Amino acid sequence: MQVEGSSAIVFGGASGLGEASARRLHEHGARVTIADLNEDKGGALADELGDEASFVKTDVTNADEVEAAVAAAAEAEGGLHINVCCAGVGWAEKLAGKRGPHQLQPFETVISINLIGTFNALRFAAVAMLGNDPNAEGERGVCVNTASAAAYDGQIGQLAYSASKGGIVGMTLPAARDLSSSGIRVVTIAPGLFNTPLFALLPQEAREALGATVPFPNRLGEPPEFAQLVQSVVENPMLNGEVIRLDGALRMAPR
């Protein structure tokens, strides 16, 4: 699937990995719909990108809003071709401790945003892509999900986050198999430690210490490197049903 001339939607596209993905796809000729809860950042990014970029306020846990955002993106000539979901949140809490058991509400919130939100984006985007004319390879669309190295190497206090990202990993192959007869690919990227807005809140020394745990390159990943892989996934027709770790050979320690 060529990025140039395609229509793309990026959930969580107003900041971090999603923003980098939206910028990369737009730079390489895609019409990009930025779907995010943050109206200020999302609208500003769409204005900055200019032509062939738009913003739709979207809560990924709200099925109606996700469906409406996908419909808006699919209005472009040729329909919707690329779906990227980067929307997500984290939470730090141990399973049990002096304060009692892990709270249920934060666990439900993380699962709802990270896992159910990804499911919403995937299911509505796939339906929209079914109506596309296939290209020469028989492709109608590509869906790129975002998991995390924490799906495999969850640290102390990452129970909710790891469970949500593990769910995304588990959805990848069956989703790809479900859509294979329609020429729609599904791939998940599992990033390690990346220099996102969450890490920007930490002191410089703390960021450098985290980066030093990555074998090579010995630093935090940068969002444009994630976006580069998104483009590669879109353009390589043999990438399907796979989870790709993007972590510099990092295997996270317990804490």
For 132-178, the pLDDT digits (tens) are 999 999 999 999 999 999 999 999 999 999 999 999 999 999 999 99
- Whether 202 shows a pLDDT value over 80: the answer reads no
Tell me, yes or no, whether 229 lies in a domain.
yes
User: What residue numbers bound the domain in which 47 lies?
Assistant: 7-246
Burial profile 179-213: b = 16 or more Cβ within 10 angstroms, e = fewer? beeebbbbbbbbbbbbbbeebeeeeeeebeebbee
Higher-pLDDT residue of 238 and 201 is 238
Tell me, yes or no, whether 90 lies in a domain.
yes
Q: How many beta carbons lie within 10 A of that of residue 142, not counting itself?
A: 28
* pLDDT at residue 143 in the model: 98
Crossing angle of the two packed helices 117-130 and 63-74, in degrees rounded to 10: 40
For 208-226, the pLDDT digits (tens) are 888 999 999 999 999 999 9
Best CA proximity match to 34, nearest among 59, 51, 60, 11: 11
Quote the mean pLDDT of the chain.
Answer: 96
* pLDDT at residue 210 in the model: 86
Tell me, yes or no, whether 39 lies in a domain.
yes
For 31-62, the pLDDT digits (tens) are 999 999 999 999 999 999 999 999 999 999 99
Tell me, yes or no, whether 32 lies in a domain.
yes
Confidence of residue 255 (pLDDT cuts 50, 70, 90): confident
Tell me, yes or no, whether 252 lies in a domain.
no
What is the C-alpha to C-alpha distance for residues 17 and 2, in angstroms, rounded to an integer?
Answer: 21
Tell me, yes or no, whether 106 lies in a domain.
yes
- Whether 185 shows a pLDDT value over 80: the answer reads yes
Angle at 236 between CA 29 and CA 178, to 5 degrees: 105
Tell me, yes or no, whether 1 lies in a domain.
no
- Rounded to two decimals, what is the model's pTM? 0.96
Tell me, yes or no, whether 27 lies in a domain.
yes
Say which of 161, 175, 187, 227 is annotated catalytic. Answer: 161
Split into its structural domains, the chain has a count of 1
Q: What is the CATH number of the domain that holds 71?
A: 3.40.50.720
161 is catalytic: yes
The pair of three-digit structure tokens given for residue 179, joined into one six-digit string: 């859509």
